[in-house]
């Protein structure tokens, strides 16, 4: 009887209801959420798609500027609902069960923005953990 009660308690303790933070359940959904925010200004789910400790690196000439989630979310909010006039593509560079690295290119009329996005499986599902941005 005690064993049955322990099994029931452990089962309830390990059961986790789906919450609003479970918006991005797969690595592709996380990347799609990032692209929708960047290209189309659609911010739905973007905060949950980015890990709290994510790092963002922007190459500016010979300098590399480092920023964090807070700054990136502020930038995206300043461009909310603005559709960028560009063509965009994504190419998977590497992936396994726990990590995905994808190269995303946004081609504008006179410039190309390239983001190398790393997404990793975390305790809270898939999250973007690093983005390296360059322009040419």
First to last CA, the chain: 69
pTM over 0.85: no
CATH class, range 20-135: alpha beta
The residues facing 128 across adjacent strands are 50, 119
Domain parsing of the chain, residue ranges: 20-135
The two three-digit tokens of residue 16, written as one number: 């986790």
Could you read off the pLDDT tens digit of each residue along the chain, which spans 136 residues? 333 333 333 333 333 333 344 445 789 999 999 999 999 999 999 999 999 999 999 998 889 999 999 999 999 999 899 988 899 899 999 999 999 999 999 999 999 999 999 999 998 899 999 999 999 9
């Amino acid at each position: 009887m005690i064993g049955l009660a322990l099994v029931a308690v452990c089962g309830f303790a390990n059961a986790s209801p789906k919450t609003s933070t479970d918006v991005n359940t797969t690595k592709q959904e996380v990347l799609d959420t990032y692209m929708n925010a960047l290209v189309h200004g659609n911010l739905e789910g973007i905060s949950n798609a980015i890990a709290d400790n994510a790092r963002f690196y922007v190459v500016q000439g010979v300098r590399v500027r480092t920023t964090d989630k807070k700054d990136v979310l502020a930038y995206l909010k300043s461009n909310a609902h603005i559709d960028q006039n560009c063509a965009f593509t994504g190419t998977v560079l590497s992936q396994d069960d726990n990590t995905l690295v994808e190269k995303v290119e946004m081609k504008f009329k006179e410039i190309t923005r390239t983001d190398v996005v790393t997404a990793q499986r975390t305790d809270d599902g898939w999250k973007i953990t690093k983005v390296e941005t360059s322009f040419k």
